Amino acid sequence: MISAVDLSFRYAGHKGWALKDVCLEVAPGECVILAGPSGGGKSTLAKCLSGLVPHFEKGVRAGRVLHNGVDLAELAMPRIALGVGAVFQNPRSQFFTTRVEDEVAFGCENAGLPRERMLRRIHRALERFNIAHLRQRTIFDLSAGERQKTILAAVYAMGPEVWILDEPSANLDPASMEDLRICLESLKREGKTLIIAEHRCHYLRGLADRVMVLAEGRIVEVQGGAGFFSQGNAQMSRRGLRWTRLPQGFTPPPAKRRQERLASRGLRFRYPGEGHDALQGADLSAGAGEIIALTGANGAGKTTLAMLLCGLFKERGGRVAIDGLARKAKERVRLCRLVLQEADHQLFTESAYKELRLGLADRGRDCGRGMELLEAIGLGEKAHCRPQSLSGGEKQRLAVAAALAAQPAILILDEPTSGLDAANMRRMGELLKQAAGRGGAVLVATHDAEFIQTCCTKTMHMEKGGVLNGQATGSQI
């Protein structure tokens, strides 16, 4: 059993408590979801339960976390790792080696297991998560879903009873999410204790025994899994949480006749050194005021299409027209703006205001537009803060606002809601609606069905490097 008794934690250099007087008990074999808004304390609680607080994170800790009656603060981290396994949000930055088999072996090697026993465990873990065929592959060639399974296998090989997972679905497409669910189900059947911090919990329906909602560092609500998932989406929205059931299809708003701003015909693109085209004749069209969701599995070509449309990649064949004129890649870079998935890649200056000034079409003359945009995204008071010190949601909004400052004809976003809570996701939707309202066309590559329903006017589904005609179905989203 794992439990927390009057647990509080304050990060070094921070004024407020990230966790305050948290008490919980999780029985062996139980599956508990930690839900709630960003900054509520989910990840901090996950770190406390996995022993990283106090062994890795610096700060002030009060209270205790007990695993089988022993306080984790009194055990060394290598010892804790054998009983409590931790899986974090981004599998890519959790790999310490470069080959799947080595990665799965990593924890066992640290524990000093004899080679024969280690080989048996590795074999079992790879078979358990159906990745035995990836054994010799380098981690850089894996899909997001395969990476997630590799990290699960690596933790499984160490044999912990308790699993702490922090937003394991953040980078996954719907099919990989379903795979993750199957993996978690099988772990639960084996009697493992699962504690999952997650915004998007819809895929955990039927798996969770209890849901704990955290806000401002405290557990504000505990519900049974069945009760939590029986609530409607409207009720979840009112409570500031992500939907618990995905819409079965996409209901677009009434169609209007719109002036075409972006059109691509027969776009083809091949990455250097690859033997086949990543894009195989992608056609699409976007009108003024439209927000189009580009859906499809990881690897379907969504990001490649986004890069190509905004001119970062040069097409091998086909054409892209903006406002009726065929445009070369160089011209498209000027006319379009792309917001990448990771906000930190696109924040360059020392204040939020300067970030927007850098984005303005005419950098010399601001005329108050920078501040106006900052106010519009709710960051007026943080105009002079370092962009890097903002929260994840704020950074993402700032990156979008910096792109909008240039008043682009076409705005393209790559997975803008990955890791965002309900409130930040809705704010992002509002921002895109404003951008589209000014007559621009907005294209969003996303897996987030809730976000699509919140703000998109149309969906297009991609498969194997091509855009399929018509609306994406519920399962495709």
Please give the residue ranges that form the binding site for other proteins (CB under 8 A): 50-52, 55-56, 76-78, 81-82, 85-86, 88, 90, 92-99, 101-102, 105-115, 118-119, 122, 140, 154-155, 158, 272-273, 307, 310, 312, 333-334, 336-338, 340, 342, 344-349, 358-359, 388, 402, 406
Nearest to 447 by CA among 437, 459, 438, 430: 459
Smallest distance from other proteins to CB 129, Å: 16
Pairing mode of beta strands 410-414, 336-339: parallel
Smallest distance from other proteins to CB 446, Å: 18
Token pair belonging to 99? 């080959």
Minimum CB distance to other proteins smaller for 116 or for 189:
116
Minimum CB distance to other proteins smaller for 82 or for 423:
82
Minimum CB distance to other proteins smaller for 82 or for 175:
82
Minimum CB distance to other proteins smaller for 144 or for 452:
144
Smallest distance from other proteins to CB 35, Å: 22
Smallest distance from other proteins to CB 216, Å: 24
Give the whole-angstrom CA distance, residue 192 versus residue 164: 11
Minimum CB distance to other proteins smaller for 131 or for 338:
338
Burial pattern 209-234, b for ≥16 Cβ within 10 A else e, equals bbbbbbbebbbeeebebeebbebebe
> Token match 């809601």: residue?
417
Smallest distance from other proteins to CB 79, Å: 8
Smallest distance from other proteins to CB 460, Å: 22
Cis bond upstream, residue 54 (ω within 30): yes
Sign of CA dihedral 337, 343, 348, 350: positive
Nearest to 3 by CA among 64, 73, 75: 64
Give me the phi and psi of 241, to 5 degrees please: -115, 160
Minimum CB distance to other proteins smaller for 92 or for 245:
92
Residue 378 region, left (φ>0) first, then alpha (ψ -120 to 50), else beta? left
Token pair belonging to 177? 């999410």
Minimum CB distance to other proteins smaller for 194 or for 477:
194
Smallest distance from other proteins to CB 336, Å: 8
By the 10 Å C-beta count (0-12 exposed, 13-18 middle, 19+ buried), 143 is classed as middle
Give the whole-angstrom CA distance, residue 10 versus residue 415: 31
Minimum CB distance to other proteins smaller for 236 or for 398:
398
Smallest distance from other proteins to CB 256, Å: 29
